[in-house]
Amino acid sequence: MTKRFLPFLFFFLALSLSYGQDTVSPVAQLDGVVKSLAADISKKLPAGENQKVAVDLWTYYDSAPAFSFYWAAQLTEELTNLPGRSFVLPTGGSVTADWTLSGEIIEAANVIRVYTRLIRSNDHTIAASFHSDFEPTDYLAEMLSGGGSSSSSRSSSVSRDSYETDSFENPLAVEIAAGSGGPVINRTIHTENDSDFFLLTPDRDGMLVMETTGDDMDTIMELYDASQRELDSDDDGGSGSNARIRHQVRSGERYIAKVRGYGSGTGRYGFHAWITEPISADEYEDDNDPDSAKEINIGTPQQHTFTTGSDVDWVTFRIDRAGRYVIRARGVNSTRLDTFIELYDNDLNLIDENDDGGEHYDSRLSVNLQAGTYYLKVECLSDEPEEPYTIRVDAE
């Protein structure tokens, strides 16, 4: 039994002795259930010599109460003493293990349910899942309220996720989506020294985009090649305090993204990655100067694309009635594309300009205009544009 579980074993023994002789001991009830669980787990493990099984902690509403430490300690003992077992429990924990046991404690519908999952370490898939139900009692309530937070235990405010322990040598393999709407992996940074590692192996050349999501913490991301040479890094390139990296990658090569919290920050976040499709030139691609500006109708959006970060588009429009007009240049997804607009009169005198007057990085002008012809220049401020955008002029 590891030392981190010992203080919580004493807690439960004291709790059991504190109740009268005519009551059922919560410790005896737990021990019976764990004994049966250990036998069930053993049956699910494939036969083989020296398979290593690590026992992690169980979380209860994102914390690790004394119940969790006792459950893990007792399960470790039962598995260790199981007759005829074909596995060992390494002292190094999940770092060197072939399998990891962990789970959650849920309270719902007058039942306390303990979920236990057998996780395969090489690909982090769930090989088997079990649950144990208990009737809520004062005993269990006290066990669940007994905190597991101390200088020698992990934080009770943010739990370890089920993909731990990952590292450069053991990164979590991630599916690379074809677009930004792909699956998001939910993870946690549970201590200030925690870092998460994601393995990305693209199946084609292209621009790989990786980003974190959520508003629970400030993330920092670093990208490495297979030899652990740093290729790129980012702090707040995504939405809010999220990190975001875009990097040109080659098919079949291995890349590792490392995510950590800013400073000593901990919390929950999501991670996803995708390959961006090359942007094709639009039908207005010869609109690079006022002489080739494309006419736009008031009240009708016109879609354009920037093929590179240095691309410039020009449009022209006519005002028939004096008044106040709103001019916008915004990405189709309205989140990432950074545009800059300049408004000129018919003699190409600059009237006004705007960078981020709209939502996110969109440009927006609200100006009083007389009847006449006007020109609008739209520039791209993103190094690598990845989405089309629309230009629109509306009477306010």
pLDDT at 328: 93
Q: Is 214 helix (H, G, I), strand (E, B) or coil?
A: coil
Residue 17 pLDDT class (50, 70, 90 cuts): very low
Mean pLDDT across 207-232? 92
**Sign of the dihedral defined by the CA atoms of residues 230, 236, 242, 246, in that order:** negative
* Contacts of 323 by beta carbon, 8 Å cutoff, 6+ apart: 368, 369, 395, 396
Quote the percentage of the chain above a pLDDT of 90.
37
Mean pLDDT across 22-40? 80
Contact between 351 and 379 (Cβ < 8 Å): no
Between CA 125 and CA 209 the distance in angstroms is: 25
pLDDT at 28: 81
Q: Which residues make beta-bridge pairs with 251?
A: none
Taking alpha carbons only, the member of 159, 171, 297, 268 closest to residue 224 is: 171
- Does 3-145 match 172-276 in CATH topology? no
Taking alpha carbons only, the member of 317, 372, 371 closest to residue 341 is: 317
- Predicted TM-score of the model (pTM): 0.46
* Contacts of 107 by beta carbon, 8 Å cutoff, 6+ apart: 60, 113, 136, 144
pLDDT at 62: 66
For 3-145, CATH number out of 3.60.20.10, 3.40.630.40, 3.40.50.10780, 3.40.50.10610 equals 3.40.50.10610
Between CA 250 and CA 155 the distance in angstroms is: 39
Domain boundaries, the chain: 3-145, 172-276, 290-395
Give per-residue pLDDT as tens, 87-124. 888 865 556 788 889 888 887 767 889 999 999 888 88
The CATH number of the structural domain formed by 172-276 is: 2.60.120.380
For 290-395, CATH number out of 3.30.230.70, 3.30.200.20, 2.30.29.30, 2.60.120.380 equals 2.60.120.380
- Give how far Cα 335 sits from Cα of 242, 303, 316, 330, 356, Å: 13, 16, 26, 9, 12
Residue type for position 355:
D
pLDDT at 372: 95
Residue 69 pLDDT class (50, 70, 90 cuts): confident
Residue 27 pLDDT class (50, 70, 90 cuts): confident
